[in-house]
Amino acid sequence: MLASIQKIENIEPIQDADNLETAYVLGWTCVIPKNTFHVGDRCIYIEIDTLVPGSYIDKPDEKILVRSLKLRGVLSQGLVLVLSKFPQCDLPIGSDVSHLLDVTHFEKNTEGKEINYKGSFPRFMSKTDEPMVQSEPELIAELMGKPYYITIKFNGSSSTFYNYDGNEFGVCSRRVELFEMEGCPFWTVYRKYGLEYKMPNFVALQGETCGPNISKNKMKLTEYMLKVFNVFDIRRGRKYPYKEMVTYLKNRDIPMVDILEDGESFNYTIEQLKEMASTVRWNGQRVEGIVVRSQDQKISFKVLNNEYLLKNKE
């Protein structure tokens, strides 16, 4: 949900700020005008990476990108609006009001100029889009005590490769299927790793394609790289469980996303996961964050590195 009805969980003062204070909404901290809200008030919360009408913050005729900021030394991630200004949104807590507010997701990846567009994304599987744990903090309790694993979240573009029946191979960007074309990053990694020879019938791989001309190549790669995070059984309509996926990819020499940790009993708080996300490095560089999954693949969420977001103005 890009915009939803939520509750102000707590409010704290900001040192040396006469007109600002910090509000806690879901698992996020947001800087708000002082004395605008009280603890327990309902509000409209808009997530980062969302484009909103500028009129919402007194900048008419513009589109404003909601992103991570530091104001008076406090991290602010999201836009908190007074519910009374939007009578059409007088709905219960948790309601999705994105369509009512005319907000849209900001697509960061530069895959979008798809002149080799072939068709819409395959119907037999879903696009990849992990929720941010701060927006769905209940996932922490749901995963607690269960087998889990944690991987690096690489900066790139989601990609899908499939072998439907031995005769129908497909390569997809985050949103659509693509014809083969020289220079296409997704087809480049498909050929680079010999996926047409390594995927049996009715199997699909999903991963992150990283490299030049993708998401500003913040990892400074000189060639395209693939990191697979899902193996999908098309006939059964299910993801391979963790250990089965590891074995499958290892036996076929297909690069898997880097595993930071796995275990039999998850026991982390949001704050501990945010700390982990901020300290992870790959080749000496900050990464976008981490992804946490249950080993049965039924629960998953991402935890973004706030310092990375601030540095890259996201």
Whether 8 and 22 have beta carbons less than 8 Å apart is answered as no
**12 Cβ contact partners less than 8 Å away, ≥ 6 residues apart:** 21, 22, 24
Q: Domains of the chain (ranges plus CATH)?
A: 3-105 (2.40.50), 117-311 (3.30.470.30)
Cα distance between residue 268 and residue 140, in whole Å = 8
- The pLDDT of residue 162: 95
Confidence of residue 313 (pLDDT cuts 50, 70, 90): low
Average pLDDT, the chain: 91
- Of the candidates 240, 255, 246, which has an alpha carbon nearest to the alpha carbon of residue 298? 240
Q: How large a percentage of the chain has pLDDT more than 90? A: 67
**280 Cβ contact partners less than 8 Å away, ≥ 6 residues apart:** 152, 260, 286, 287, 289, 290, 305
Backbone conformation region of residue 26, classed left if phi is above 0, alpha if psi is from -120 to 50, else beta: left
| pLDDT above 70: residue 298 | yes
- pLDDT tens digits for 24-69? 999 899 999 999 999 999 999 999 989 999 888 877 768 889 989 9
Cα distance between residue 1 and residue 6, in whole Å = 11
**50 Cβ contact partners less than 8 Å away, ≥ 6 residues apart:** 2, 3, 65, 66, 79, 103, 104, 105, 106
Confidence of residue 108 (pLDDT cuts 50, 70, 90): low
| pLDDT above 90: residue 306 | no
- pLDDT tens digits for 143-195? 999 999 999 999 899 999 999 987 889 999 988 999 999 889 999 999 999 99
Q: Are strands 176-178 and 117-120 parallel, antiparallel or unpaired?
A: antiparallel
| pLDDT above 50: residue 202 | yes
Cross-strand partners of 177? 119, 172
| pLDDT above 70: residue 109 | no
Provide long-range contacts, Cβ within 8 A and 24+ apart, for 245-252. 252/198
| pLDDT above 90: residue 258 | yes
The more confident residue out of 25 and 128 is: 25
Q: Are strands 148-153 and 203-210 parallel, antiparallel or unpaired?
A: unpaired
- pTM score, whole prediction: 0.83
Mean pLDDT for the stretch of residues 97-124:
79
How many DSSP H helices and E strands does the chain contain? 7, 23
- The pLDDT of residue 111: 46
Confidence of residue 110 (pLDDT cuts 50, 70, 90): very low
